[in-house]
Amino acid sequence: MLITLVFYFVLSLLVVGISALLFPNSQYIFNPWRDGVLWFCGVYIILQAIFFLGSVYFKKHALIKTILVLSLCAIVFSLFALIITRIFWGYNPIGLANAFWHIIKLIFWIIAPCCWIVAYIRLREIKA
C-alpha cells in the first residue's frame, strides 16, 4: 500500500507537469496527507486483516464465508445493542447511539491485531 501511494504521488507529479505544459488549467498534485487518504489506508489494513483471517480459517470459498460471518456478527451485535437499549433506556435512546458508535469504532481499530494473532495461531496449528 505504501509503494502504491508513493507510485501514485510520483505519477501525479508527472501528469501535472505534462498537463501544465499542454493546458492552461493545471491539475492538483496528489497529496496523501489530506482528504482522508491515511484514514482509508487504515481501514484497508483492518479489512485486509479480517479477510486474511477468513482465508486462513476457511479452506474453501473463504471470501463468501468471511462475508457471511461478518454479516452474522453484525446482525448479532445489532440485536444485542437493541436489547441493551430497550432494557436500560426504553424507547427513546438519545445518547446511546453516540456511545455505541464510539464502541464500534474502538472495536474496529483493535480488530486488526487480534485477527493477525488468531491467523498466526491458526497457521501454526495447520503447519504442525
Whether the per-residue pLDDT at 72 is higher than 90: the answer is yes
Quick one: pLDDT at residue 46? Answer: 92
The x, y and z cell numbers of residue 104, run together, are 464500534
Spatial distance between the Cα atoms of 114 and 72, rounded to a whole number of angstroms: 19
How many domains, the chain?
A: 2
**Which residues span the domain enclosing 115?**
36-127
pTM: 0.72
Spatial distance between the Cα atoms of 98 and 114, rounded to a whole number of angstroms: 25
Quick one: pLDDT at residue 101? Answer: 76
The x, y and z cell numbers of residue 10, run together, are 510520483
Spatial distance between the Cα atoms of 19 and 26, rounded to a whole number of angstroms: 6
Domain match, 53 and 100 both = yes
Domain match, 113 and 64 both = yes
If you average pLDDT over residues 87-103, what whole number do you get? 69
Domain match, 12 and 50 both = no
Domain match, 11 and 63 both = no
Domain match, 44 and 94 both = yes
Domain match, 78 and 114 both = yes
- Condensed to tens digits (0 to 9), the pLDDT of residues 37-64 reads 888 888 899 999 999 999 999 989 999 9
| Mean pLDDT (the chain, rounded) | 85
Residues in the chain: 128
